[in-house]
Structure formats: structure tokens, C-alpha cells
Structure 1
Amino acid sequence: MDARDDEGEDGVSAYRTIRVTTPDSPVAELADVEAWKARKKYPSMVFAGGPVFGVARERESGGWELHPHFAGLAPQDARDGLGAHFRQLAQAAAEEGDDEARTVYLAAGERLDWEPLDELTVRGERYRVVRAERFVRMGPDGPEPPRATDPDPGRSDAARTSYDPAGGLVVDPLDPSAPARTGRVSEGVLRAELLTALRKNGSVPSDVRHDSRKAARTHPGGVLLPATFMTAEREGGRWQPDPAGTAATPQAARDGLAMHLRVMVPWQTDLDADECEVYLRAADRIDTEHCDELDVAGRHFRVVRVERLLRIGPDGPEGPRPSDPDPIPPVMVHEQQIGEQGVPVDEEEDEEPDERMEKFMELFDEGRRRRAALQRGRP
């Protein structure tokens, strides 16, 4: 790879420089206006739970390209995704008759089944598991909902599940035109704020705060990734985020909330038929009105906008920190641990689902039918 100068004309490392420009299109100008309005209405920035993890590939021409679905809640989620990516590449190589490439990619996927690797080079390309911190704007009435300018493409299931605004973005501090660097003044100001954000004393374990302060030195630069979305519930004056994570679009977050109301709430609680109907009608309202705020059975839900900051240092984007939770080992190690614990596996065991699982499957199937009927315009 050709060496490139990592310092700007003023001698400041490029990854530490925040360049800003005026909006170059009516859409960008409107998005900038919305961002300034959000700063006034929701003036505080708070950490939104833990980080999310994804995969980046270093490009020969410079910079790092992000893989789709940058939403893992633990580093192992991203490793599993990278292993699946290598198996897809192996299949494509087999279809092209390239046995050597197929063998190498399969070996890389198998290695990730056993080893918790956060970086590896395969066929001359470097891949890295990377992390992004999540933040939410807060105001007097709670967290910021989606903005009118946030992309929300399509309402078909295919469009919602395939769209990921971060997939394919190039993170390159040396190239101001790289897609992950919009250059808007509002985003430059926000990035500067988030780069200095640290966890408050006593709010997190000491090792988490230590790693946060260390990252500010080792990875002092950063880029904002496209916003993602999650649902939150107001409980006793406080907002609790959905532990299931984030969605790529506002509609995907609405879909997740509707599924929660149709399936998870009735499954996890002892509700009678009338009480279940209240939640079902609330889910129907989400599907028909595409609302971002909902009151149901004395509970209040909101779809929330989430910012993501990916830190960058001299060697590229930041990887997982030692204090990041990573509870599940690679799949083959996990299976080996289960076997060593003496957990019996009876292949002849009756695989019929128990009563509780049957209830879940019934609720899930009924929820799909109900939603499909709504999409066809039937009550």
C-alpha cells in the first residue's frame, strides 16, 4: 500500500482535524437546519447504553470501508458476522472455480469459530472489528425522536431489512470527500462535543472510565456514522432504552416496537384477552399511522434517534476495549464448554416445543397474519 501523509498543511494529524463546509444541496441544507433546531430543543447529549460493534475492511486506496449491519451489542456479534462474510466469499469463489480463494476464506471463517480475533488479514486484505459509542439528545420532554430529514426508505419488509446507511461507507480522515465525512458545520460541532465526552465518576466501573480516557489519547479523532434508532419507555420519570439494540431506520424501530407489543408483552405477562387486545390495537396503530410516540395501558413509548461516534487514531478506527462486555465466546468454544459441563445431549429427545414455546409461536404467527391483513388494507 502506498504511504500517505497523515498531516495536514497546518501540521495537525488529519484524523484529528474537523473540517466543515457549507451544505452543497437543498437536502443537506435542510438537514443542517434540522440539526441546529435539535440542538435548541434537545440541548443535552447523553450516553445511550453501551457501544455497538461492526466490521471494517482496510482499502488499498486508503481508508476503511464499513460492512453493513453495524449494530452488534458485543464484539463477538461482529466476529460472527465477519465469519459469515468469509463463508459467503468462499461460496462466491467456488462458483467462480477459484479453489485457492475458497480454501483461504473457509479457513478464515473456521478460525473465527474458535478464536476471538478482532483483526486479521485474509488474502492481503485487513479486517477489523470496530466499535462506536452511542449518544442520544435529551430535552425537557425526553429523548429526541426521528427528524423529518432522516432517511426512512420504503415500507416493504425487504426494503426495511436490507437498508443500512452505514454499509459501504468509507472512513478516511485523509480524504474530506469520503462519505462518512459530511462536513456540515452542525456535525462538526457535534463531533467535537462527543470526542470530549467521558463517563461521569461513579456512573460506570473504573475500568470502563479508564478505557474511555485512554481512547481519547490513542484515538483522538472520530467520524459520525449515520444515525440509528431505538425505542425507549418512560418509567417513573426516567427513560429506559430497549435492550434489543438499534435499528437502521425509524420504520425498522417502529416494526420492532409493534412486534414487542403483539408478541413479547402477551408472552411475558399474564394478560387476559381484553388486556391483550389493548396492546394489539396499539401495535396496529403503529403499523397504520407510522407514529413515533405511543401511549398504551398506562405506558409511554417513543422511537428515539441515536448518534454513533467511531473513534479514529493513527492506525485507523478503534477496536473493542478491554472493558467492553463480551460474554459469549466463539461458537465452537461455546459448544466445547457446554460439553465439558456435562450437559447431556439426547439426539432422541422429543423435540416437540413445550407449552410456553407453543404460546410464543402462536402469538408470533398471529402477529404476522394481523400485520399482513393491515398491509392489505383489511381491518
Structure 2
Amino acid sequence: MTEYGDGVPGYRTIRVGVPQAPVADLADLAAWQARDPYPDLLSAGHPVFGLAREREEGGWELHPYFGAPMPQGARESMAMEFRRLAAEAGRAGDRAGRAECLRAAERLDGEKIDETTVLGARYRVVRAERFIRSGPDGPEPPRSTDPDPAPAGRADRAHDPAAGFVIDPTVPTGVSEAILKAELLALVRAAGTAPPPVLRDSRLAARTHPGGVLLPAAFMVAECVGGRWAPESSLDATTPQGARDGLALALRVLDPVRRGLSAAERGQYARAADRLDRERGCDLRVADRLLRVVRTERLVRIGPDGPEGPRSSDFDPDLPVLELDRRLRARGGDPDAESPEPPDEATRELARLFRREERRRREQPGRR
């Protein structure tokens, strides 16, 4: 099945096929069942970015840790990948290949580059919009079919489901995913919901990149404040346990400082983090707060030349490292000098709590 009938270009295709594995069949059923309790599709906030490489056999393959909140994070991942390829070429005795990779990495150190070709392959910074399902009970939590293999405190060792994922709109999907993809592709920001440049780029993208692919789901933490849910953190996790681990870290380390908690309140927050580790739930009440691990859908738009890159209206304030160095020196600063200002009390307290949390995690049974 296609969205527009026979003869449609591949990048505008939505193909439906029978799932090839029982787990995929169950995931498609869970997606369909989620439509009733969570009927509304809402923006999950800012887009995320990652690195993809064009494959000779078609499609674009994602590199690990897709989810940078700003394009520069993905550009830095690209520079790191080119340095890794340079090291491989060096070990293989390929001096020309090593030099090509290093040149590309060094360009990224000084310029904002969203696409380049190295060793015959195209690499691109790819943009994904984030959405959540919501209903009367609030945003949708993780589903029972979402992979969640890591124990508490060890989500950093879990496989990233998006690593190696191939962006290819011609690959068949289940019925539920195909319907969701069509719904998300039809969404365009309404007037008054965002600044004019964002609205302009949203409408333009619907024309230049009318196709799309859904990435593996990601997970975030949201908080209910005054009856409305809002992101508690701007970062996505690759698994539900990754989001729980991030929340537990906030409860034990960040919140005591940024919220100015008393000793009694710190104990309450630590016990809530222990409960989260033990029960691996989705909702958590601590003091007068209600927090939830939330499932996010991520859509990459596709055009004739592949996946969409950063838009001109995307928040992109970070500079490449050499350009940042140059501007600092132009203002009379010395990037190599040690900071004359000692850390303040809050910074010292954060460092102390981080060290304590690291010791606690090292001492957990089975931790290596």
C-alpha cells in the first residue's frame, strides 16, 4: 500500500506489510491499543539530531546516540566518527584515506557543516521531530513491548535500538505504524503556536520532505505542574530504564542543589529514588511532585535527496571548538589559562554528590 497510489516516488511511500517476527506483531498491536487511552498527538518539544551515513544498497544508517538537542552535537559526533575512521585507515596502512578523514574532521572543528562525503560515502546531520501520545490520564508511558533489558543504574550499558537503524521509507511497516506515520506527516504547526521562522520552516518541510520514517521510540521524564505536563529534562533516553536512571540521578544529585532541599527533604528524595530503582515503575510521587517516564515518537522527514537536515530556524547557538577558541582570543581571553574564579558552593556541592552517587553505584551487587 502507498499513501498516494501507484507510481509515487519511493521517498513518499508508506508500505504496509505483515510483521516478520512475533515481537513485531505484538508491538504493532500495542501501538494500535494505545490509540484509545492516548488519542492525542502532541509535540514533545524541540527536535533532536544525529548522524547518518548513506548506504550503497539504499537508505541511511544511523550512528549511535541519536538525540542531540542541538545540531552542533551531531556535527561533533561526525568529527569523532571521521577520527575513528582515520585511525582504522592508519592501522590498515591507508595513508591517503587517513589524511582524507582527518581533513574532514578538522573542517568540522572550525565550521558548521551538516553534510560531507568521506571515503566515498555521504554523511549527514539528520533532524527528527518528537511527539507524544496523550489522553485524559496524561502522556503515554512506556509500553510493555518497548525493550527495557538493563537493571537499575546500568542503562548506559544497554544497546541503543536506534544504532544501525536504516532510514528507508520503502521498508514495509505494520498497520499501526503506517497510520501513525501518515498522521504525523500531516501535522504542520498552526499560526500563533511558534515564531514566524519556525512556522515558515514547518510548512516548507511539508513540501520539500513529504515522506517520513519513524525511528525507534525514545523516553523522557515529564512532570505534572498545575494539572499540565511538561518535560522535566530536555534529554531523551534510549530505553525506559535510561529515563529512570536519569530521574534517579536528578533526585539524588541535582535536585538537592538546584531546589535547595533541606536534610529531611533530601532523605525523602533519596528514598523516592530507591523506590524507583526497586520497582522500575513509570509514575513516581515525591513530596508534592508527580513525575512520569514518557514514551516519545521520533519522525524523520524524507525528501528526494534523503532525510531532512537541520532547519534554519532550529536553535543552534553552539560554535565549533576552533571558532569558539578564535572568538575568545579576539576578545582578549586565553582559552588555555586556568579559570581565576574558584568554584562556588553550589558547584562544590554538586561535585560532592556526584562522587557519592558514583560510589553508591559501584557498590551495587553485580556492578563491575
TM interval, shorter chain, is over 0.9
Q: C-alpha separation between the residues in 2 aligned to 1:226 and 1:134?
A: 11
Q: Does 1:63 align with 2:59?
A: yes
Alignment partner, residue 27 of structure 2: 31
Q: C-alpha separation between the residues in 2 aligned to 1:156 and 1:143?
A: 23
Q: TM-score, normalised by structure 1?
A: 0.91
How much has 1:109 moved relative to structure 2? Answer: 0.6
How much has 1:104 moved relative to structure 2? Answer: 1.2
8 Å CA contact 1:267–1:363 kept in 2: the answer is no
8 Å CA contact 1:284–1:374 kept in 2: the answer is no
Q: Does 1:264 align with 2:254?
A: yes
Alignment partner, residue 39 of structure 2: 43
Q: C-alpha separation between the residues in 2 aligned to 1:334 and 1:56?
A: 25
Secondary structure (helix, strand or coil) at the match of 1:30 reads helix
How much has 1:227 moved relative to structure 2? Answer: 0.2
Secondary structure (helix, strand or coil) at the match of 1:300 reads strand
Cα displacement string for residues 274-311 of structure 1 (whole angstroms, at most 9, x for unaligned residues): 11111111111111111111000100100000000011
Q: Does 1:96 align with 2:86?
A: no
Alignment partner, residue 281 of structure 1: 271
How much has 1:40 moved relative to structure 2? Answer: 0.4
Alignment partner, residue 21 of structure 1: 17
Cα displacement string for residues 68-105 of structure 1 (whole angstroms, at most 9, x for unaligned residues): 11101111110011001111111222222222211111
Q: What amino acid maps onto 2:46 in structure 1?
A: G
Secondary structure (helix, strand or coil) at the match of 1:33 reads helix
Deviates more, 1:46-55 or 1:25-34: 25-34
Change (3 A) 1:349 1:320: closer
Alignment partner, residue 142 of structure 2: 146
Ranges in structure 2 where 5+ consecutive residues have no aligned partner = none
Cα displacement string for residues 111-132 of structure 1 (whole angstroms, at most 9, x for unaligned residues): 0001101111112111111100
Q: C-alpha separation between the residues in 2 aligned to 1:36 and 1:115?
A: 44
Q: C-alpha separation between the residues in 1 aligned to 2:262 and 2:360?
A: 19
Q: What pairs up with 1:101-112 in 2 under 5 angstroms? A: 101-112=97-108
Q: What pairs up with 1:121-140 in 2 under 5 angstroms? A: 121-140=117-136
Alignment partner, residue 166 of structure 2: 170
Secondary structure (helix, strand or coil) at the match of 2:141 reads coil
Secondary structure (helix, strand or coil) at the match of 1:41 reads coil
Alignment partner, residue 212 of structure 1: 202
Q: Does 1:363 align with 2:349?
A: no
Q: TM-score, normalised by structure 2?
A: 0.93
8 Å CA contact 1:284–1:371 kept in 2: the answer is no
Secondary structure (helix, strand or coil) at the match of 2:35 reads helix
8 Å CA contact 2:155–2:242 kept in 1: the answer is no
Q: C-alpha separation between the residues in 1 aligned to 2:310 and 2:340?
A: 41
Deviates more, 1:111-120 or 1:264-273: 264-273
Q: Does 1:339 align with 2:335?
A: no
8 Å CA contact 1:44–1:137 kept in 2: the answer is yes
Q: C-alpha separation between the residues in 2 aligned to 1:274 and 1:265?
A: 13
8 Å CA contact 1:287–1:371 kept in 2: the answer is no
How much has 1:357 moved relative to structure 2? Answer: 2.2
Q: Does 1:200 align with 2:190?
A: yes
How much has 1:25 moved relative to structure 2? Answer: 2.8
Q: C-alpha separation between the residues in 2 aligned to 1:325 and 1:278?
A: 37
Secondary structure (helix, strand or coil) at the match of 2:302 reads strand
How much has 1:372 moved relative to structure 2? Answer: 4.2
Change (3 A) 1:201 1:351: closer
Secondary structure (helix, strand or coil) at the match of 2:61 reads strand
Q: C-alpha separation between the residues in 1 aligned to 2:142 and 2:5?
A: 38
Query: Number of residues paired by the alignment?
Result: 364
How much has 1:67 moved relative to structure 2? Answer: 1.1
